[in-house]
Amino acid sequence: MIQISNRPLLTVPGPNPRTPLGHITNLVHFSRDSIGFTRQLFQTYGPIVSLRYGGGTNLYSPLPNCPGTVFAYGPEFVRQVATQHEIYYKYPLSGRLYRRKDESERTEPLKHFVVGLFGVNGDRHRQHRQLIMPALHKQQIEGYRDDIVAITQSTLDHLRVGETYDIAEVMRLLTMRVVTKTLFGEDIGENDKGIGQLIQNVLSIMGSPGMAIFPFDLPGSTYHRFLNQIAELDNQMRQMIVRKRAAGCVDRDVLSMLIQARDEEQGLGLTEDELLGHAGVIFAAGHETSSNALTWTLFLLSQSPQVAADLLEELDAVLQGEAPTVAQLARLPLLERVIKESMRILSPVPWNGRVTSQPTKLGDYVLPQGTEVFVSIYQTHQMPELYPEPMVFNPSRWETINPTLYEYNPFSAGPRLCIGAGFAMMEIKIVLAMLLQRYRLQFIPKVKINPVGVIVLASKQGMPMQVHKQDFQFKSAIGGVRGTVREMVKLPD
């Protein structure tokens, strides 16, 4: 086999920089705007494309000598990657940092930090998923309804009519409080403190430029501060586990249930390190995705007056100003269609990243073992043959279409279908139902809205919106939106 820098040749078409370091430009473009950059690649090269022809790139995989990076979209590629569980492996959310776990005593927490279900494959994944599923069973999820309502009510009570807020930040704190309460049994409240905030701080540092620019454990460096924070997180989490075990794990939070979980055949439970890994992943996946889904939905409604009016009419008729019960959520079909359409057009999780565990074929191309494969959930949702006028926010399309899990997959598909999808949908519905009955949020077009991200799709500059009492004036101040979001959604001028 032809080799390039001791790596197998990647034959998937893609840009071919003429200088040895030219691929770095592509890495920068992808990190700045993964959606816009790959849209251009797909238009140029087709539905399967490499970040660099011949390979030699590494965005996500913690394995040594990554052959290269491939992007793909479309139901057939989604199906292949999502269902061939033994070929397309997942790795921890820490990505390339994970390879540093054995460097020193200070890096040992990387062995489990945000590992969870992302860091296990094959039989171990199936075993761990079975242990976790009871904690996120439908009946257990519905038991969290009162916590979600109480935290949402607290958040809404702190908003002031006439004031402008970054709604992205408001939703982030709200969902962080919800996941901290349901996962650990504690509400960080309005003080923005506690173990949930510590996890959030660590995740923020992990994604900062300083981690990539100077990844050395020296005092004053971002990496040094990151290792200090994960050590503190480790200490607090282990103390919490000890307390819960001493108390008999009588609470109904997710962590207490995971501590008690046992394999039916062998009676084995999760180790302490495994508990830490799952808790970190559930926290990260359990609030970042929901907060962005809520933010994008509120933004789209602010620019869609008729949809907003119809939705509020449905909410008023069923709820009459009250928070929804679990049973009432099933009587809000337009609310569900609005959320589904929002997650289609601005997918909170735009990519599904995997690494090939063995040589395999994707489409017409052979991928060497260790190849990174990113399937574009966003681009699949934008295919006009699946969704006519894909840039139009049109919840009514869901009255007549019923796409497969591979055509519409905001929560992935196959054996790794998001285990928290039911919880996320219930949370998003409750928050929207309560907020929209009480307030009308008016977008303030003073900043550009540029959706960015790889793990989650967020607005780079936040989402400024002014709070009004719900006055049904949905046509007030629509339009005037600037930024790359206009390349993704058809919006009023």
What pLDDT is recorded for position 486? 96
What pLDDT is recorded for position 2? 33
For residue 216, give both structure tokens.
């050395």
Q: Say if CB 148 and CB 428 are below 8 A apart.
A: no
Spatial distance between the Cα atoms of 457 and 451, rounded to a whole number of angstroms: 6
What pLDDT is recorded for position 120? 94
Matching residue, tokens 């279409």: 401
CA 439 → CA 332, 474, 482, distances in Å?
A: 19, 11, 24
Q: What is the DSSP string of 61-128?
A: --SSS---EEEE-SHHHHHHHHH-TTTEE---TTGGGGGGTTS-GGGGGGGTTT-GGGG--HHHHHHH
Listed in order, strand segments (DSSP E) in 207-350 are none
What pLDDT is recorded for position 370? 96
Indicate the helix (H) or strand (E) that contains 179: helix 167-184
Q: Say if CB 310 and CB 337 are below 8 A apart.
A: no
CATH number of 3-487: 3.50.50.60, 1.10.3210.10, 2.60.120.620, 1.10.630.10?
1.10.630.10
Counting as low any pLDDT under 50, the low residues of the chain are 1-5
Those residues whose C-beta lies under 8 Å from the C-beta of residue 226, and which sit 6 or more positions away, are 202, 205, 206, 211
- Residue 375's φ and ψ, nearest 5 degrees, are -90, 130
What pLDDT is recorded for position 17? 77
Listed in order, strand segments (DSSP E) in 257-328 are none
Three-state SS at 473: coil
Torsion of CA 278, 284, 290, 296, to 10 degrees: -150
For residue 454, give both structure tokens.
């790889």
Alpha-helical segments (H) within 320-407 = 326-329, 333-345, 377-381
CA 312-314-316 angle, 5° bins: 65
What pLDDT is recorded for position 152? 98
Spatial distance between the Cα atoms of 353 and 368, rounded to a whole number of angstroms: 16
Spatial distance between the Cα atoms of 310 and 335, rounded to a whole number of angstroms: 10
What pLDDT is recorded for position 3? 37
Residue type, 373: V
- Residue 106's φ and ψ, nearest 5 degrees, are -70, -20
Those residues whose C-beta lies under 8 Å from the C-beta of residue 293, and which sit 6 or more positions away, are 339, 342, 343, 348, 424, 428
Q: What is the DSSP letter of 249?
A: S
Spatial distance between the Cα atoms of 242 and 312, rounded to a whole number of angstroms: 46
Matching residue, tokens 């996320």: 424
What pLDDT is recorded for position 143? 92
Residue type, 284: A
Q: Say if CB 62 and CB 97 are below 8 A apart.
A: yes
- Residue 88's φ and ψ, nearest 5 degrees, are -100, 100
* Residue ranges of domains in the chain: 3-487
Name which of 445, 330, 340 is nearest 393 in CA terms. Answer: 340
